[in-house]
A and B are shown apart, each in its own frame.
Chain A
């Protein structure tokens, strides 16, 4: 498994991932930002891995955004899990909930806030749009 960390930008290198054989699992949890050069770097890299079995796990919202807007960011990978962002309408608390692939189509739009107990902690975004990447393949 490979843990990506920090900013994905013009200086990001992914060669180490290619050197490993077999299935590749990419954990995106530690990624803090992606700019357009980073997207291009990643798309170019993932293209060279098209004959490999790749899984994306723990994708934070900023990675999900890229997968939704730029389908080639996903390449031939399968998304195993993503973080879904929720915001409490009552106290503005934000929370990320990890959701695995079997629940992508049935994610809860509202959950209870851990901080103020309000039942109105809502999914930050449109549930249909958030999982657009699932229809990309």
Chain B
């Protein structure tokens, strides 16, 4: 049976490219040659700045998050937050654990949003 399958599959009929095929290819290639090459993103130059920014941002966010969680746990307004939030914080509905979880969720959402915006920005620049 192997021989029979070999015979059938090896005996595949050849097709000829259409008459204008090579001309069409050359037209595409000529157009490509006239197009200036895309300027690559200077990753090497940008890398130190990106790393420093990312680390600084992470540190700031972490500090803010820790401070916020601690302050919410103690039913106090974090130092960095406006004073008008005090009555809101003292509302009985605001269980410290729920608020802390909410703060973390908000932080996660913010980070996700930042990642989406950054990647969209990079992709649109490369396209």
Partners in one complex: no
A residues touching B (Cβ–Cβ < 8 Å)?
none
**Which B residues contact A (CB, under 8 angstroms)?**
none
